[in-house]
Amino acid sequence: MLSRVADSLYWMSRYIERAENIARILDVNLQLLLDFETLDDARLKEHWEPIIRASGDEVLFYELYDAPTSHNVTDFLTFCRKNPSSILSCMLAARENARTIRDQISLEMWECLNQSFLFLNSSNARSVWDSGPYQFFKQIQDFSHLFQGLTESTFSHGEGYHFMQVGKYLERADKTGRILDIKYHILLPSVRDVGGAVDAVQWGAILRSCSAFEAYHRLFVASVEPWKIAEFLIFNDLFPRSICFSIRLLDEYLHRISGCPAGRYSNEAERVCGRLLSDLRFGNVNDVFAYGMHEYLAGLHQRLVEIGKAVYESYMFHPRVDIAAEIATQQQQ
């Protein structure tokens, strides 16, 4: 497969997964505001600023907006074209990547992406937003789920499909970690609420952001405890949005691309991913809280960045050829 095609498939899948996760975070946090009786400017800042910090775009946000209010944060992460990680920017980038490889994907996949593009650029998107953000964010999630289902059933499960899965699970692991890190930032200004009703509501919001509320309660019944939630979202090997599950599938598809047997590695991407998977399989939540959840998640994010760079260097980057040196080598031979 051409590295250009692999790169477009990889990023198309990552952008769609990113848009869905941002929609999840914003939807749940807007609904979370309804549980608070009084919300002054200081409390709103405590609520929305962690979302910006966890997104990694804090500097850009303050260049464009004065304060992290409900309107400013949702606009920045939803419709702002200057923000490359906004829902609109992600869906446009996904469609553009799909356009460059139109002959490589199925008609149904292209139509789904085109439909989402037309929706976001139409007046109907704003009217849906004005009538209620819940319906708007649900539409974004539905587009993502529809695209993934169409990919599963209409796209050949060859190398191209494997690159798409690598992009999807790498992005999913990163966003689940960022969603957990939001809770750390929310706790900073209000340590007095730890263990109280507000704390329980916030942890419940974290679960809902990952569509993990029902799955968690089936496993732990009625208890909402921070260490159990962290353990579930980081180390559970069966829940499809947990970090461990995502890294396990990421490692599997990297090995399918290279053809290298599981447990071994043939390039840097497989080596770094395999080491992370091993740490997750043999780690536990006690290690996370002993080290510090924020510090642990920050280190995890950095390791995911290293995997992304290694994937790029292994499969998509080709250094420029020095023509003069190539000619000299051929003459010498």
- What is the distance, to the nearest Å, from the Cα of residue 249 to the centroid of all Cα atoms in its chain? 15
Higher pLDDT, 180 or 147: 147
Rounded Cα distance between 174 and 18, Å, is: 9
| Residue 69 backbone phi and psi in degrees, to 5 | -85, 170
Q: Is the pLDDT of residue 319 over 60?
A: no
Q: What is the mean pLDDT of residues 125-153?
A: 88
pLDDT of residue 188: 46
Q: Is residue 36 helix, strand or coil?
A: coil
DSSP symbols for 115-138 = HHHHHHTSHHHHHHHHH-HHHHHH
Q: What is the mean pLDDT of residues 317-327?
A: 60
Q: Are 119 and 139 in contact (CB under 8 A)?
A: yes
Give 111-130 pLDDT, tens digit per residue. Answer: 999 999 899 888 777 777 77
pLDDT of residue 329: 67
Higher pLDDT, 321 or 53: 53
Rounded Cα distance between 86 and 98, Å, is: 18
Task: Tell me which residue has tokens 């139109």.
Answer: 102
In angstroms, what CA-CA distances link 16 with 31, 93, 137, 289, 309? 23, 9, 13, 32, 19
Q: How many CA atoms lie within 13 A of 102 on its CB side?
A: 6
Higher pLDDT, 179 or 46: 179
In angstroms, what CA-CA distances link 274 with 248, 259, 312? 9, 15, 17
Give 192-219 pLDDT, tens digit per residue. Answer: 444 556 667 778 888 888 889 899 999 8
Which among 290, 244, 251, 279 is positioned nearest to 267, based on CA atoms? 251
pTM of the model: 0.88
pLDDT of residue 191: 41
Rounded Cα distance between 183 and 330, Å, is: 60
Higher pLDDT, 45 or 2: 2
Which among 156, 35, 18, 198 is positioned nearest to 91, based on CA atoms? 18
Q: What is the mean pLDDT of residues 284-289?
A: 90
DSSP symbols for 201-243 = HHHHHHHHHTT-HHHHHHHHTT---HHHHHHHHHH-SSSTTSH
Q: Is the pLDDT of residue 153 over 70?
A: yes
Rounded Cα distance between 277 and 289, Å, is: 19
